Amino acid sequence: MAITQRVRDRLLVEARHRCTICAEKAYELHHIIEQAQGGDDSEENLIVLCPNCHQQRVHRNKEFSMEQLRQYKANLRERNEVERRLVMNLQDIRVLMETEGLAAAQKSLRRELSEAASQIDEANSPSAFEAVETTARWLAEREALHAGAREALELECDIDIQRELAKWGEFKIVEVDEAGWKKADDFPAAYSFVVKLNGPPYSQWCEVFENEYKTSFYMMKRKSRVSGDRLVMIVADSDNLQNHLDFLKQLVESTNQRIRDHLERTLRPHLNRERARVLAEFDTIESLKSKVKGLKL
C-alpha cells in the first residue's frame, strides 16, 4: 500500500518540512519499522528525514535505533521545537526573497504562514506568534507582494482561514494509561480502563465522540467518556481489552471523520465565501477610488 498524499502532507507539516533529526530542509519519508520487517504506511511509523540522515546515517551507518527515531518524532510535538523550526523557516524565506526575489519565495511564504497559523497561537507561543506577525508586517511595509495591498489582504484571509480550521483538529490514541486503573462503581467487577489521547479535545469533538458512541454497535459495548486528554471505558476484569481498545480506536477515527466532513462540507465553503466577499469589497472600493480620480470639481 502506497503512502497517501494526505499522510505525506500531515507529516511534512508536523516536521515543518525539516528533517526530524537535524532540522535541515527535508521531504523524504522513512519507515521506522522497515516494510520488510512488517512496517506499515501509517503516520505513526513514518518519519521525515533529509537525504543525508535518511541514506547515510539511518540506512548505511545504522546510527539510530527504532526507539531513538520514535523519540525524535515525539520531540516534534514539543512547543519549543515547533517554534524553533517555524522561526528557521521564516528566516530562510526572508533570505530567499532578498537574494532571489519574490517569485522564488512566494509559494513557500504562503505555505509557511498558513501552516504556522494552524499551530501557533499568541497565548501559548508569544515569541513565535510575534515572528509570524513581524514577517507579515515586513512584507506589507516593503510592498514585496506582486499586487500590493490586495495580495497582502489575500494572505491575511488565508491565514485567518487556517487559524479557524486549526480549531477543529483531529486526535488519536497514543498509549494505554497504566496508572489509570481504579475500581469503578458501575457493577461489582467494574474497573476504569484509560487510554491517553495526543491532547485534550475541544468541546465540539467531545460532543461528536459522545454521539458516535451512542449510535455505534459493539457486542461488548461498555460505557465510555472523554476526560481531559483521556478516554475512560468501564470494563470488567474478564473482558477482552484488545477488543475494547479497537472499539475506542474506531470511535476516535469515526469522530475525526465526522469533523473532516464538517470542515469540507460546511466550514471551509463558508470561509471561502467570506474570503471572496472581503476581496470583492476591496476590489469594489479600489474601482471606486479610480473613478473618483476622474471626477471634475
User: pLDDT tier at 213 (50, 70, 90 boundaries)?
Assistant: very high
C-alpha cell at 82: 515547533
CB 54 within 8 A of CB 63: no
pLDDT at residue 1, rounded to an integer: 58
The mean pLDDT value of the chain amounts to 84
Nearest CA-CA partner of 161 in 110, 88, 102, 104: 110
| Terminal Cα-to-Cα distance of the chain (whole angstroms) | 72
Task: Please determine, for residue 146, whether its predicted confidence score (pLDDT) is greater than 60.
Answer: no
CA dihedral 77, 79, 80, 81 (to 10 degrees): 30
Q: What is the pLDDT of residue 144?
A: 47
Classify residue 176 as exposed, middle or buried by CB count within 10 Å of its CB (0-12, 13-18, 19+): middle
pLDDT at 113: 67
Q: What letter would DSSP give residue 179?
A: G
Q: Which one is predicted more confidently, 93 or 214? A: 214
Cell 483538529 identifies what position? 169
| Strand residues in the chain grouped as ranges (E) | 28-31, 46-49, 173-176, 190-197, 224-227, 230-236
Q: Which residues face 7 on adjacent strands?
A: none
Tens digit of pLDDT for each residue in 252-277? Answer: 999 999 999 999 999 999 999 999 99
Look at residue 143 in the predicted model and tell me its pLDDT.
47
- At 71 the three-state DSSP class reads helix
Let me know how long the chain is: 297
Sign of CA dihedral 42, 44, 49, 54: negative
